[in-house]
Amino acid sequence: DTEVTQTPKHLVMGMTNKKSLKCEQHMGHRAMYWYKQKAKKPPELMFVYSYEKLSINESVPSRFSPECPNSSLLNLHLHALQPEDSALYLCASSQEGAGSANTGELFFGEGSRLTVL
Amino acid sequence: EDKVVQSPLSLVVHEGDTVTLNCSYEVTNFRSLLWYKQEKKAPTFLFMLTSSGIEKKSGRLSSILDKKELFSILNITATQTGDSAIYLCAVALDNAGNMLTFGGGTRLMVKP
């Protein structure tokens, strides 16, 4: 069983809706990530939080808004999405943040499958 | 631009066969190379390789890294239908936190 928990597992929303994806880990990891994965494609990095601060934003549109309330939680707020934003959204965590000696292993959640109508 | 390329794109084998999956990379500031298996949802970790020439093994799976030729292979012996999945190779870079640059994946199907 994964130790990174994501909710909801499935979400269907209209283009005018506001919704949020949630991610939680209790492994004491200090870095958390959002990845987007389209069908038959590898995961693409969206955001990185390191020690609860946004350290990387991979030019993601502002209709996606990340939030890290504390070191265990990571949210992704969604507003005015487009149908092409439909994808599997994966949360991941790692032991340490940027610049550490950590060798890179990420622990992934099971993902939230988002459909935008 | 950092690049990770996996081959083949897809592979169909029969149970009991041995398969070799390839991952080549061109990146600056290489730190480690990771293999993940993705079935329906989350990628699950298989191996992390940081040193050349040292084989890592886990049951029927093994992997090795060649930092001179910039590639890694993942071997699966005596394949089973449960090995059917997408196998993702990813590279972690120094000075980039734990950002992973993923390859496109190899889709493996093992037929009974």
What are the pLDDT digits (tens) for A50-79? 889 888 788 899 999 999 999 899 999 999
pLDDT score for A95:
82
User: Any chain A CB within 8 A of the CB of B58?
Assistant: no
pLDDT at A5 over 80: yes
Confidence of residue B87 (pLDDT cuts 50, 70, 90): very high
pLDDT score for B28:
85
* Mean pLDDT to the nearest integer, A29-42: 91
pLDDT at A100 over 50: no
By a Cβ cutoff of 8 Å, what residues of chain A touch chain B? 2, 4, 31, 33, 40-45, 48, 50, 55-56, 88, 90, 94, 96-100, 102-111
pLDDT score for B99:
75
Mutation pick from A56, A105, A110 vs chain B, by most beta carbons of B within 10 Å, is A105
pLDDT score for A99:
46
User: Any chain A CB within 8 A of the CB of B42?
Assistant: yes
- Distance, CA of A13 to CA of B104 (rounded, Å): 28
Q: Which of A106, A113, A114, A9 is nearest to A50 (CA)?
A: A106
pLDDT score for A113:
95
pLDDT score for B86:
95
Distances in whole angstroms, Cα of residue B88 to Cα of each of B26, B44, B102? 16, 10, 7
Instruction: Establish, for the pair of chains A and B, how many residue pairs have beta carbons separated by less than 8 Å.
Output: 75
- Distance, CA of A95 to CA of B43 (rounded, Å): 17
A56 CB-near residues (< 8 Å, 6+ apart): A45, A47, A48, A98, B97, B99
CA distance A66 to chain B (A): 17
Mutation pick from B98, B99, B101, B107 vs chain A, by most beta carbons of A within 10 Å, is B98
High-pLDDT (> 70) share of chain A, %: 91
Confidence of residue B107 (pLDDT cuts 50, 70, 90): very high
pLDDT in tens, A47-57: 989 889 888 78
Specify the higher pLDDT residue, A95 or B13: B13
Whether residues B92 and A109 touch (CB distance < 8 A) is answered with no
Whether residues B104 and A103 touch (CB distance < 8 A) is answered with no
High-pLDDT (> 90) share of chain B, %: 76
User: Any chain A CB within 8 A of the CB of B106?
Assistant: no
